[in-house]
Structure 1
Amino acid sequence: MNRRNFLALAVGASAATGLSPADRTEDTAIPVIDTHIHLFDTDRPQGVPWPTKKDGILYKPALPDRYRKIAVPLGIVGAMVVEASSWAEDNQWVLDVAATDKIIVGTVGNLEPGKPDFRQQLERFQRNPLFRGIRYGNLWEHDLSRQLANPRFVADLRFLAQAGLVLDTANPNPALLAAIVRVTDLVPDLRVIVDHLPQMTMPEAAAARKTAEADLQALGKRPQVYAKISEVLRRVDGTIPQTLSFYKARLDELFDLFGEDRLLYGSDWPNSDQWRPFHVGLGLVREYFNAKGRTVAEKYFWKNSVAAYHWQKRDPSQPG
């Protein structure tokens, strides 16, 4: 991707600079809930479906103790674990690992609506209050658009909503946006969280771009739809810009679309290691949201995540 196309087409935000001691003191006064991390153990006897050895830097255990050492010094007090495995029993593995460290305030699992055992499995996992929902989109060779023609799939989404759980969805593209609009038409009381929206590249064709923009506008008007400002760093012409000025225009667009009450912070750790060190992405969004005042920054960094996920406070350092 070149700089011109990025500025014209990408939705971006979350890079930045080191913080001075004064900045770091001010920033960490607002506790942070990270709504998007992944846990896996590449050393398990059974291995993992992701990452693979080909993923290089990612292929090593990503467990709470490693995350804690990075996150806590930066003012992060809690994290949501989002699925990184298509294996059903890894829902339980994540819950078991989460139980060992109070920095984990919730999990988002991987179950398939429409499958005969979906409701049984959902009821099994939601007995654990850390289990806050599922993720389904265009990951693991799924197709949300196609599944919406399946009455059983839609009925299971209604069951998910009735349980008070959420639907995370990724990775964003025009087809997924259109599908999310349909989901929220069919199941209006389901809370939906769009992961990694800043990574999306808008279509170049005028008609397709207009449709995608209309779908974003529609989602921005639906109070049950949240957007994660996550996975925002972009590689452009072989470099990764680290200044807010490069990303600000698209951050402004997302803020205008979803408002101060429906944007969430997510690091996408350890996937974020492919871009820049953890503090770089956090530093950029801190710079952006702190400039909007403490009230807005608190919403982005933790209050909106309570409304979206209803996560579990497990430690006195955690707000709420």
Structure 2
Amino acid sequence: MEKPFERTLILIYTGPLFDSHLHLYDPTRAEGIPWPQPGDAVYGPRLPADYWAQAEPCGVIGAMVVEASPRREDNDWVLCTLDQDPRLVGYIGNLDPLAATFGADLERLAADVRFRGIRYGNLWGRDLLADQQQTGFIDSLAHVAERGLVLDSANPDARLIQALLALSDRLPHLRIVVDHLPNAPDLAFTAELQELASRPQVMAKLAEIPQVGDHGLIRDAAFYLDVLGRLLELFGEDRCFFGSDWPNSDHLANFTTTLDLVKACMATQPAHTQEKFFLHNAPRIYGLPGAFR
């Protein structure tokens, strides 16, 4: 039987794109930023105009920002920053479900239709497997689910997959997006990820695809095809979608190079699958405006 991605190239996608994962921040703010740190290659202001200078020539027509700070007040800063460009139609915030302020913060932020959920995982010293055993954590995430919002995870490893399985058992109506799975290729073949992918409320954001080898950026799409094919097989064409991870992706390659590599990896897929992956799936999954679906 033919395996995923063992077909000849069909076509390179040339249609419009929706980017489900980018970060905005400004270290010149009086309070500074927790990430990135001075000396990092991506340190410095990264604002909407900076993003669109890279993304618009590549055909991106809409995008979603993911919070890069654990500070609750920075959620409001990002939402205000989205006002600089109407194409930034969605936002995944960063709230702590164990914080006493969680309920009030969620209610305030959810009043803005661009706010589509929160991120929680292996980030900022958090541990989703342990934290969900704490009093109040599940109740807080139940409120996220009840509002039709999404939980994005962060930095996948085997423990995080176990945590997401346990969480989806307790909150089967919570939509979960697993971020950056291509950056953890060994997970694509584990029984735990297969079980997680069998649950229709769990989605896969295929960001952080590029990798570096002994000679720099690996540009050969064939290097990535087994893992990407496995993830597409597990989650299906309706639950996988594109994210650039800009500007964090600049550690490896610029926006155009990153996108060209992802397009080459997807070029063995039928045209309708690529259109779902690059344009339609993310807006539908996050409940964004109909114009992007």
Q: TM-score range by the shorter chain?
A: over 0.9
Unaligned runs of at least 5 residues, structure 1: 1-12, 14-22, 204-208
What do residues 37-87 of structure 1 show as CA deviations (whole Å, max 9, x unaligned)? 0000121121111111031x2111111001111101101011110010111
* 2:230 is the counterpart of 1:253: yes
Partner of 2:184: 200
Q: Please state if 1:31 is matched with 2:4.
A: no
Instruction: State whether residues 92 and 117 of structure 2, in contact with CA within 8 Å, keep that contact through their aligned partners in structure 1.
Output: yes
* Aligned 8 A contact 1:36 1:79 in 2: yes
Alpha-carbon distance, 1:201 to partner: 5.0
Residue 144 of structure 1 corresponds to 128
Which residue is 1:125 aligned to?
109
Q: How does 1:100-179 map to 2 (within 5 A)?
A: 100-179=84-163
Count, aligned residues: 284
Where 1:282 maps in the other structure, the secondary structure is helix
Residue number in structure 2 paired with 1:319: 292
Quick one: distance in 2 between partners of 1:114 and 1:188?
20
Residue 44 of structure 2 corresponds to which residue in structure 1?
60
Give the alignment partner of residue 295 of structure 1, picking from 264, 272, 286.
272
Matches within 5 A, 1:201-216: 202=186, 213-216=190-193
Partner of 1:44: 29
Q: Which has the higher contact order (CA 8 A, sep 6+)?
A: 1
Q: What residue ranges of structure 2 are gaps of 5+ in the alignment?
A: 6-10
TM-score (normalizing by structure 2)? 0.92
Tell me the distance in 2 between the aligned counterparts of 1:220 and 1:159.
23
Measure, in 1, the Cα distance between the counterparts of 2:200 and 2:115. 22
- Return the offset for 1:238: 4.5
Partner secondary structure for residue 33 of structure 1 = strand
Question: In the aligned structure 2, how far is the partner of 1:157 from the partner of 1:223?
Answer: 18
What residue is the counterpart of 2:169 in the other structure? 185
Where 1:58 maps in the other structure, the secondary structure is coil
Q: Which among 244, 263, 271 is matched to residue 286 of structure 1? A: 263
Separation in structure 2 between the aligned mates of residue 52 and residue 45 of structure 1, nearest angstrom: 15
1:220 touches 1:258 (CA, 8 Å); kept in 2?
A: yes
**CA distance in structure 2 between the partners assigned to 1:238 and 1:117 by the alignment:** 48
2:8 corresponds to: none
CA drift at 1:184: 0.7
Partners in 1 of 2:129 and 2:213 — Cα distance? 30
Q: Tell me, in whole angstroms, the C-alpha distance in 2 between the residues paired with 1:39 and 1:285.
A: 22
Aligned to 1:228: 205
Give the secondary-structure state (helix, strand or coil) at the position aligned to 1:89.
helix
Kindly report structure 1 stretches of 4+ aligned residues shifted beyond 4 Å.
none
RMSD: 1.8
**Separation (CA, whole Å) in 2 of partners of 1:232 and 1:274:** 12
2:241 alignment partner, one of 264, 269, 274: 264
What is the letter of the counterpart of residue 285 of structure 1?
Answer: V
Identity %: 42
Distance 2:289 2:72 in 1: 23
